[in-house]
Structure formats: structure tokens, C-alpha cells
């Protein structure tokens, strides 16, 4: 008998451990899927999540008390043999209790919410920089501050789309507007939502406590492509942010360099278009790999890494000598060194 009891207890413990493990794994999956609002990575998100948990726990306590009281009353005072159900009218202490406690709770939640809103709506205090964001169906455009750090060779400020790069540990003010319909900027791990309204500028702030990549999306239905209106915020370590900015400026300057247009025209006028596709151009070849985002790839044809000017020049000049058997012909001698360099400069802008 004792062995039987021990066996059953062990079985219950095993099932309990398995259930706990399953819940833990499910929680980890939800966090990994992201973006996850209850995984705050910045001070604003931490304030929001803290208030959420206070209200959630209070709501669960109220639910347990009310549901428990209903269940208890339904069982204890039900009509059954030997007992007749009775109606009760008026109970001063009970009525006072369920009036005073909810009132205190609502006032407390209002005060807590007011304090958090003051913190969240203070977009200017200690802001390290202001980045302008324009939403349109179905993408985001970011314009960095008019500062020497973000100046291009033509005097304009750095612009980017889809990915916003910020320094970790610093408060960043975001000024929002929209080109067409109402959109909503939301990066759950870093803060709350704010609408982008056509003809009007709204503002919010975000801050990442540590370096990392954070996913966001438009949270206001804005048309057929709403589900794909995503954005990425990359927080760099503060001592690495200047390095990123210099690289971004170099890429942007290359894109507006007159030689880039020459390289594009040379590419489209050569045999390259017969083999490669570059979206947004007349190049639609299917023999070779697509080059629309060649500059973002980790390597060239799996043999040259990284994708930079030196390696692209080697590959365009004489691919067969680097990867025997490749279909791509040798262009050195067919194109001049200047033409090859122009094509390479343009390929480096395809990210």
C-alpha cells in the first residue's frame, strides 16, 4: 500500500513538474516571438508595465473575491432538501464595503496613471536628439537631426527607412507626422503608442536601456498593407554609435554621388541585366542571383566576405578565377577599370 501511495505521489510530482516546465517554455516562446509588451527594455516601457501589473493583480483579487463569493453563496444558500433558499435585503456593512473599496481603488489607479502620464508625456527633458518620422502607406521614413554628425556631402541630414538607429541609454524624442492616413508608431519593448496624423505633428520618446534590436509596427489600421508596416529600432552602445553614424553617412554619400548614377546606367547598359534582377530597375534576369540587396548580404557567391568595394571589384572583374565553374563571365577587358568601379559604387548602395 505504501509503495502504491509513493508511486502515485511521484506521478503527481512528475506531472506538476512537466506542467510547470511547459508553462515556462511557453512564456519563453512568447518572449522570443516578440514584440512582447510585457518585456520592457526601456524606462518608459517599465513604467507602463509596472502600472499594468498593479492593475492586473488588483483585478485578479477582485475577480477572485467576487467569483468566490458568488460560488460560495450559490452552494451555501441553495435550495435543497431540508433547507429553503431565502432572499436577503439590505446589509449596511456589506454595501459600505463594496462602495468604499472600489472608490479607493479607482482613485488610487487615477493617481498612479496621472503620475505615469506626466513621465511619459515629458518628451523634451534630457532628450539627447530629435528624430523626425514620417509615416505613409506602408512604410516609415526617418530623418536624423541637423547636426554635423548626420550631415551629408550635399548639406542635407541623413535619412533612412524601415530601421531607426539610436544610442542605448539616451532619451530620443520622436516627432511624428503622416503623409496620407492616420498611422500609429509602436515599439512595445521601448514605450507606448502614438498616432501619426496627416498635417499635424505629434511627439513621443523612446529609450533603450541596453544595446539590442527591437521590433515595432503600425498599430492603426491603415489599408491593405497595414500588417506589413513594420519597423526596427537598433540601439547601439554609445561608444559605437559614432562609428555607425559614419558608416551610414558614407553609404548615403555614395548613394548621392554622381558616379553612382553613372554606375547604375553602366550596369543597366551592360550584359549584367540579362542575368540579374534589381527591383526598381529594368534588370530582370533570372540566370544569376538577385542583387536588389547585395550590399546587405554576408558574402559574395559564398566565397568572398565581407561585401565591400575591394571584394566586389575582384568579383566583377574576374569571377571565374575566384570561383571556377561560375556562369558569370570575366568583365576585366570588356569593361574599363573606371566602368567596373562605377558599377561597384552603385552595387554598394543596394541594401
- Cell numbers that stand for 149 in this block: 554628425
Phi, psi of 58 (to 5 degrees): -60, -40
Q: Does residue 7 surpass a pLDDT of 50?
A: no
DSSP, collapsed to helix, strand or coil, labels residue 91 as coil
Q: What is the pLDDT of residue 29?
A: 47
pLDDT of residue 18: 56
Q: Is the pLDDT of residue 64 over 90?
A: yes
Dump pLDDT digits (tens) for 256-289.
777 788 888 888 888 888 888 887 677 778 888 8
- 254-258 — which CB contacts under 8 Å span 24+ positions? 254/345, 254/348, 254/349, 255/349, 256/152, 256/153, 256/154, 257/153, 257/345
Per residue in 22-52, pLDDT (tens digit) is 555 544 444 444 556 678 888 888 888 888 8
Place of cell 460560488: 71
Q: Is 167 exposed, middle or buried (0-12, 13-18, 19+ CB in 10 A)?
A: buried
| Residue in 205, 216, 206, 211 with CA at minimum distance from that of residue 140 | 216
Rounded mean pLDDT, 180-202 = 91
Cα–Cα distance measured from residue 186 to residue 194, given in angstroms and rounded to the nearest whole number: 7
Q: Give the confidence band of 326 by pLDDT, cuts at 50, 70, 90.
A: confident
The residue-averaged pLDDT of 225-246 equals 90
Count Cα neighbours of 107 within 13 Å in the Cβ-side half-sphere.
6
Residue 67: pLDDT band (50, 70, 90) is very high
Rounded to the nearest integer, the mean pLDDT of the chain is 84
At 277 the pLDDT is: 82
Q: Give the pLDDT band (50/70/90) at residue 57.
A: very high
Q: Inform me whether the pLDDT recorded for 148 exceeds 50.
A: yes
Which contiguous run of DSSP H or E holds residue 2? helix 2-33
From the list 171, 170, 212, the residue with the least C-alpha distance to 189 is 212
Q: Is the pLDDT of residue 227 over 90?
A: no
Is the omega angle on the peptide bond into residue 281 within 30 degrees of 0, that is, cis?
Answer: no
* Residue 175 pLDDT greater than 90, yes or no: yes
Check residue 124 and give left, alpha or beta (phi > 0: left; psi -120 to 50: alpha). Answer: alpha
What is the predicted pLDDT for the residue at 20? 60
The answer to whether residue 15 scores a pLDDT higher than 90 is no
Report the SS3 class of residue 349.
coil
Give residue 155's pLDDT. 85
Predicted confidence at residue 24, as pLDDT, reads 55
Beta bridge partners, 348, equal none
Is the pLDDT at 236 greater than 90, yes or no? yes
Burial class from Cβ neighbours inside 10 Å (0-12, 13-18, 19+) for residue 60 reads exposed
- Tell me the per-residue pLDDT of 107-141, one tens digit each, with 9 for 90 and over: 999 998 898 888 888 888 999 999 999 998 888 88
Residues forming beta bridges with residue 32, ordered by sequence position: none
What angle is formed at CA 299 by the lines to CA 337 and CA 340, rounded to 5 degrees? 10
Amino acid at each position: 500500500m505504501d509503495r502504491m501511495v509513493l508511486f502515485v505521489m511521484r506521478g503527481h510530482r512528475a506531472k506538476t513538474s512537466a506542467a510547470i516546465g511547459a508553462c515556462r517554455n511557453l512564456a519563453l516562446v512568447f518572449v522570443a516571438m516578440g514584440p512582447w509588451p510585457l518585456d520592457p527594455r526601456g524606462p518608459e516601457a517599465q513604467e507602463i508595465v509596472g502600472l499594468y501589473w498593479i492593475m492586473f493583480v488588483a483585478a485578479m483579487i477582485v475577480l477572485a473575491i467576487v467569483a468566490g463569493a458568488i460560488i460560495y453563496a450559490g452552494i451555501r444558500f441553495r435550495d435543497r432538501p431540508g433547507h429553503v433558499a431565502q432572499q436577503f435585503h439590505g446589509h449596511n456593512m456589506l454595501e459600505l464595503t463594496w462602495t468604499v473599496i472600489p472608490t479607493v481603488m479607482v482613485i488610487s489607479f487615477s493617481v498612479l496613471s496621472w503620475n505615469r502620464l506626466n513621465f511619459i508625456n515629458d518628451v523634451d527633458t534630457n532628450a539627447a536628439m530629435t528624430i523626425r518620422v514620417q509615416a505613409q502607406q506602408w512604410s516609415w521614413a526617418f530623418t536624423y537631426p541637423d547636426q554635423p554628425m548626420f550631415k551629408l556631402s550635399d548639406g542635407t541630414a541623413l535619412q533612412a527607412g524601415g530601421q531607426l538607429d539610436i544610442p542605448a541609454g539616451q532619451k530620443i524624442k520622436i516627432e511624428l507626422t503622416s503623409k496620407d492616413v492616420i498611422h500609429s508608431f509602436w515599439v512595445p519593448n521601448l514605450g507606448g503608442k502614438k498616432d501619426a496624423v496627416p498635417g499635424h505633428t505629434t511627439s513621443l520618446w523612446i529609450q533603450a536601456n541596453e544595446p539590442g534590436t527591437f521590433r515595432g509596427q503600425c498599430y492603426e489600421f491603415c489599408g491593405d498593407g497595414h500588417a506589413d508596416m513594420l519597423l526596427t529600432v537598433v540601439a547601439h552602445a554609445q561608444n559605437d554609435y559614432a562609428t555607425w553614424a559614419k558608416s551610414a553617412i558614407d553609404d548615403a554619400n555614395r548613394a548621392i554621388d554622381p558616379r553612382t548614377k553613372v554606375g547604375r546606367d553602366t550596369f543597366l547598359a551592360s550584359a549584367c541585366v540579362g542575368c540579374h534582377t534589381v527591383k526598381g530597375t529594368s534588370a530582370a534576369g533570372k540566370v544569376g542571383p538577385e542583387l536588389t540587396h547585395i550590399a546587405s548580404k554576408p558574402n559574395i557567391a559564398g566565397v568572398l566576405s565581407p561585401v565591400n568595394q575591394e571584394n566586389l571589384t575582384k568579383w566583377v572583374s574576374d569571377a571565374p578565377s575566384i570561383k571556377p565553374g561560375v556562369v558569370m563571365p570575366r568583365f576585366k577587358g570588356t569593361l574599363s577599370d573606371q566602368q567596373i568601379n562605377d558599377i561597384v559604387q552603385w552595387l554598394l548602395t543596394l541594401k
